Amino acid sequence: MKEACGVFAVYAPGRVVSHLTFDGLYALQHRGQESAGMAVSDGSLVTVLKDMGLVASVFDERKLSGLSGHLAIGHTRYSTHGKSDWMNAQPIYLSSPMIPGGFAMAHNGNLTNTEELADRAGMLPGIGLADSGVVAELILQHHVVDPTLSSVDLTPTLSKVLPWVEGAYSLVFLDANRVYGIRDPNGFRPLCIGRLGPEEAPEGWVFASESPALDVVGATYVREVAPGELVTADADGLHSIQLLPAAVERLCIFEFVYFARPDSILHGKEIHGTRRRMGELLAAQSPVKADLVMGVPDSGVPAAEGFARASGIPYGQGLVKNRYIGRTFIAPDQTSRANGVRRKLNPLRENIAGKRLVVVDDSIVRGTTTKAIVQMLRDSGAAEVHLRISSPPFKWPCYYGIDTPNRDELLAANSTIEEIRQFLGADSIGYISLANLRLAVGKTDEGLCDACLTGTYPVPVKLRGADAVATSDVTATKVPTLLAQGAE
Ligand code: SF4
């Protein structure tokens, strides 16, 4: 699985916002490594710079010094279905005589009615535009000019256009004078608010996909943007309206398992502690006699710590990760993917040889990586390899902003647990139950999306040329034909 975009916005007169945005995007690099960009406004002129590549390769001191202003938005992208090319890099910038200075937009998520929106915008089908581009076009076409307002304000336009938009989105916008942040009514993707300066005299405001991007720019975490809430920051401070009626919250459960950084705050708790709790519950649920617990770096490590603590089995490091592997490399086939594992992970043979190992990882998607890891550990002399996975079997594709393979490539969609164990070559395998995962996250009832584990899609996805289908109609045979194009 790949993450699928990070967004950042800052309003901070007197600060060098291009540098703040660079640092914020750098902290969000794990959410997207294909392209990076930012848009900066000085109150009249919006300047956009974006390119393919990592944040540090797109921007340097010379480029940042040319981006002057007091407000900015930024984006890191990993494409899911939309093409990975410059045209789809973000922020998207559009302008018209009705919107002096224009506006810029950056998106994390994936829309489920892109074709319907493209029809509404009068756009030709199949021209390869990502869903974000369609929303930007609709905002341009349907811009509402409020004669009572002295400057451009996108709020009336957003309240007209966003009710047409379905699916997952955390969006940030910028016009000449203000920045905006909004989450979809289900809140699939995270977005939080930070304050620059003291509470009694704020010097600026920051919106970011994850809280470490606030930390790195010296902002104080304030709160999450609520589902359906529009928050704006301008010369008059911070403003909030409930732009769209909030639905049941469906924050992606995999933000807790894998996507978010361990130092991120979600639902008021640090992710690292939540992952450790997953490991503790997994140890109680799937105990095993062993000599060493090890995590698959990086996201399997906190759950391994929790497993070790709860089971009393010593924790140790068994694999070393090469941190300098470019994450943009996508192996074209299964064989080169397996070779890619050796490039990325190498065993610590003295820790492994002769030991019965508990190997904790966050998820199994195709199984190729896990199979290669098990083989690598056996080749290094492991006596036994017991896999423990801190998410339930991954059986359904994601249509809300995460890159997953089709259902026929998902190992758990097509195999029993025993078949999975045999395929991976492990001595035993145990997945955390959905109930225990929810317990670790602290949401035992609602509040989370778990569609890729259960097949219950909270927002209907749409079939090409068909009306919306109810969740229960999304079957194994229909899923591969679902329309979910242009993901960000
Ligand atoms: S389907 Fe899975 S990966 Fe996608 S948003 Fe829902 S929980 Fe997250």
- Closest C-alpha to ligand 1, atom 6: 449
The residue ranges of every structural domain in the chain are 6-248, 270-449
Per-residue pLDDT 10s for the chain (488 aa) are 666 799 999 999 999 999 999 999 999 999 998 999 999 999 989 999 999 999 999 999 999 999 999 999 999 988 655 666 787 889 999 999 989 899 999 999 999 998 899 999 988 765 556 788 999 999 999 999 888 877 889 999 999 999 999 999 999 999 999 999 999 999 999 999 999 999 999 999 999 999 999 999 999 999 999 999 999 999 999 999 999 998 999 999 999 999 999 999 999 999 999 999 999 999 999 999 999 999 999 889 999 999 999 999 999 999 999 877 654 344 445 555 556 788 889 999 999 999 999 999 999 999 999 999 999 999 999 999 999 999 999 999 999 988 888 888 999 998 999 999 999 999 999 999 999 999 999 998 789 999 999 999 999 887 444 333 334 334 333 343 333 332 33
Measured over the CA atoms of residue 345, residue 349, residue 354 and residue 357, the dihedral's sign is negative
Distances (CA, A) of 185 to 151, 162, 252, 337, 380: 28, 10, 13, 37, 50
Strand 292-295 to 319-321 pairing: unpaired
Q: Which fold has domain 270-449?
A: Rossmann fold (3.40.50)
What is the predicted pLDDT for the residue at 331? 47
Q: Which among 63, 78, 91 is positioned nearest to 32, based on CA atoms?
A: 78
Could you tell me which residues are beta bridge partners of residue 92?
Answer: 105
Q: Measured in angstroms, how far is the CA atom of residue 236 from the centroid of ligand 1?
A: 37
The alpha carbon of residue 267 and the mean position of all alpha carbons in its chain are separated, in whole angstroms, by 16
415 CA to middle of ligand 1, Å?
Answer: 21
Structure tokens at 424: 């991976």
Phi, psi of 346 (to 5 degrees): -135, 140
Cα dihedral value 276, 280, 285, 291, nearest 10: 100
Would you call 398 a catalytic residue per the annotation?
no
Which phi and psi angles does 394 have, rounded to 5°?
A: -90, 105
Q: Phi and psi for 448 in degrees, rounded to 5? A: -135, 150
Pocket of ligand 1 (CB under 6 A): 188, 252-254, 398, 400, 402, 449-452
Structure tokens at 4: 């699928």
- Which residue lies with its CA nearest to atom 8 of ligand 1? 252
Nearest to 458 by CA among 255, 253, 242, 265: 253
What is the CATH topology of the domain spanning 6-248?
A: Glutamine Phosphoribosylpyrophosphate, subunit 1, domain 1 (3.60.20)
